[in-house]
Structure 1
Amino acid sequence: MTAPLTGSGVVDRERETELLEAALASGANVVLEGPPGTGKTTLLRRVAAARATSFALVEGNAELTPARLVGHFDPALVLARGYQPEVFVDGPLVTAMREGGLLYVEELNRVPEETLNTLLAVMSEREIVVPRLGLVRAAPGFGVVAAMNPYDAVGTARVSSAVYDRTCRIAMGYQSAQAESRIVALRAPVPSDAWRDRAVALVRATRSHQELRVGASVRGAIDLAGITHQLALARGVPEDDWQAGLDAALVALSGRIRVDESSTRRPEEIIEELYAAVFGPPPGAEESDSGEA
């Protein structure tokens, strides 16, 4: 029996942890579906550690061929000794199968169809036939977990119904504001709790802005805090300095958001607008406005 992960450092993911542990214990394959920065990889690493099993991670992209996933015969040794089992170099899939570990495939919808087809028999039968090597059966405990961002259409492909039929799905949305504040507190220096909460509020505001089709994850708030801290040190200003925070926000968030095609504004303009809405206008701006009036 594996130990529960509640309180293990996976913030605000008790339900998803329980569901994933139950699915893997039943022998199911799982797809973790959600936007970036929602803790999919962190969750799985914790589950793997609690199960005391190995963890093989592969990143889904167009270069993930079946040979890279399964393994290959070492060419030099083949010339010297022929196609012997001992000269086969296990790929992450075969490694996980032999060790009874977890194979984690990131960005499932970026994996080429040919490579996905290699996984089908493994997910169904827990075995694979490798040319010149023979049949490899998975040891007890082996499982396939994949992750994908359903909102990313660039460079992705439609996952076939055959893959979905062999997996269970756990949806992972963004965590609560309180949970994201806790994550930032654990990962980055912040001048105060109030400043940290505003940084999280700024990042969360990018997800609902009408001119943005993609907002930032909690990673944006972590980078915002870290960059603000370093800028304040370099400039010799307080860590909650308004301008340092704005400059950090532009660096940390402008590349993470995606402006809708219907908008005529640049990412920096929208970040500046949101920053002023959350952190207030620049110091002295209100006095200047009242003086002009």
Structure 2
Amino acid sequence: MTHTSSVGPVADAGPTEVIERAAEAELLEAALLSGAHVLLEGPPGTGKSTLLRQVATGRRIAFVMVEGNAELTPARLIGHFDPALVLTKGYVPDIFADGPLLEAMRTGGLLYVEELNRIPEETLNVLLTAMSELEITVPRLGRVAAAPGFALVAAMNPFDAVGTARVSGALYDRTCRISMDYQTAEAEQEIVGLRTRDIDPTWRARVVELVRSTRDHDDIRFGSSVRGAIDVARLSVELARLRGTTTDDWHVGLAAAKAALSGRIRLHDGCDRTPEQVVTALYVAVFGAEPSESDRDPASDSDASPGSPGEP
């Protein structure tokens, strides 16, 4: 289990501008100012973490982030006494190492839990107590009350059923829910533009179109987020440099798309194609067929390597 924290402005973690999320940012800030806890729901790559970082930075409040997974036990969330010092000092408060929950409570900060629906039920119960009572009782340490400003903001992808658990109604009853779906094509093009350099806008738009097409394909259960488009663009730039060609080279784009997207999509059970084959089909639909294919001698197709550049 890992967690990060900061007090005041959040440490730079790359571009933090939230594109096309003004309404969600306003709603999140209003919820936190009202003292509510918040649940951000949406697919990966829709800006949930970036949105919260922006709000926390603007309010200059402590921010503690923890990754939700099966290893996030109550002890790791709350904290623990140093075993070595217990032998010499006993269970005294000054040898207790705060976990992310107590760190956020003591500082009156935000506790951000990613992938909430992946944490164990007993850990979720600890969070519910802290949310409801604004205090918890830790064995041998005693009562810990939350400082003013403490709030839980949790995020989860409600569409991912692998390795997740159903979130109870008790949590929904204690949170304000903000739904975050994919942004528009124009917004995603702007996001990719912020994270890449020297990319032709027309070609970048087609990369975004490719990635967005993974979200409504008959063979695909879950498509790629905008992170896939960012990686396709970045890979294309570097691969073109290594091959001594241009970024918009058809073969460069296909290789980058297969590498960036084949692991991000999830196919329906029973699909008889590989992720690479599905990505290739989508790539052809957006970027067109392989250049010069119509000029080839059909008799030589069986001898040619698919996707090899410069085949006459």
Output the TM-score relative to the length of structure 2: 0.89
- 1:125-156 deviation per Cα after TM superposition (whole angstroms, max 9, x unaligned): 11111111111111111100000001110111
Alignment counterpart, residue 254 of structure 1, candidates 256, 259, 262 = 262
Q: Within the alignment, does 1:78 sit opposite 2:86 as a pair?
A: yes
SS in 2 for 1:129: strand
Instruction: State yes or no: 1:173 paired with 2:181.
Output: yes
Question: Does residue 126 of structure 1 match 2:134?
Answer: yes
Cα displacement (A) at 1:190 = 4.9
Secondary structure of the residue that 2:46 maps to in structure 1? Answer: coil
Which amino acid counterpart does residue 133 of structure 1 have in structure 2?
L
Q: Does 1:196 align with 2:186?
A: no
Matched, 1:233 2:246: no
1:115 aligns with 2:146: no
Secondary structure of the corresponding residue to residue 65 of structure 2:
strand
Measure, in 2, the Cα distance between the counterparts of 1:159 and 1:191: 42
For the pair 1:268 / 2:292, whether they are aligned, the reply is: no
From 16, 28, 31, give the equivalent of 1:20.
Answer: 28
Q: Could you tell me which residue of structure 2 aligns to residue 62 of structure 1?
A: 70
The aligned counterpart of 1:184 is: 192
Q: Which is worse superposed, 260-269 or 57-66?
A: 260-269
The structural deviation recorded for 1:189 is: 3.0
Q: Distance in 2 between matches of 1:261 and 1:157?
A: 21
What is the CA–CA distance in structure 2 between the aligned matches of 1:174 and 1:26, rounded to whole Å? 27
Percent identity reads 63
Give the Cα separation in 2 of the matches to 1:10 and 1:137. Answer: 33
- Residue 142 of structure 1, aligned match among 147, 150, 154: 150
Match of 1:209?
217
1:100 aligns with 2:105: no
What is the SS of the residue equivalent to 2:163?
A: coil
Contact 1:190 1:196 in 2 (8 A): no
The Cα offsets for residues 53-87 of structure 1, whole Å up to 9 and x where unpaired, read as 11111111110000100110111111111111111
For the 8 Å contact 2:101–2:111, the answer to whether it is kept is: yes
Matched with 1:285 is 293
**Separation in 1 of the partners of 2:297 and 2:34?**
65
Amino acid at match of 1:112: P
Question: Deviations 1:141-192 (Å, cap 9, x if unpaired)?
Answer: 1100000001110111111111111111100000000000000001123530
Q: Residue 284 of structure 2 aligns to which amino acid in structure 1?
A: A
What displacement does 1:51 show? 1.1
Which is further off, 8-17 or 198-207? 8-17
> Structure 1 residues 184-193 or 243-252, which shifts more?
184-193
Q: Note if contact 1:191-1:240 (Cα within 8 Å) is conserved in structure 2.
A: no
Q: Is the 8 A contact 1:214 1:258 kept in 2?
A: yes
User: Contact conserved, 1:207 with 1:216, CA < 8 A, in 2?
Assistant: yes
The alignment covers a number of residue pairs equal to 285
- Root mean square deviation of aligned Cα: 1.6
Alpha-carbon displacement from aligned partner over 1:16-63 (angstroms, at most 9, x marks no partner): 001100111111111100000001001111111111111111111110
Instruction: Give the corresponding residue for 1:163.
Output: 171
Shift of 1:262: 3.2
The correspondence for 2:47, drawn from 12, 21, 39, is 39
Using the alignment, how far apart are the partners of 1:43 and 1:191 within structure 2? 25
Of stretches 258-267 and 61-70 in structure 1, the one that deviates more from structure 2 is 258-267
AA matched with 1:163 = L
Q: Distance in 2 between matches of 1:188 and 1:15?
A: 26
Cα-to-partner distance string for 1:220-272 (whole Å, 9 max, x where unaligned)? 00000010011000000111111000000000000000111132111111111
Q: Report the secondary structure of 1:178's partner residue.
A: helix
State the 4+ residue runs in structure 1 displaced beyond 3 angstroms: 286-290
Alignment CA distance shift 1:83-1:156 (3 Å): same
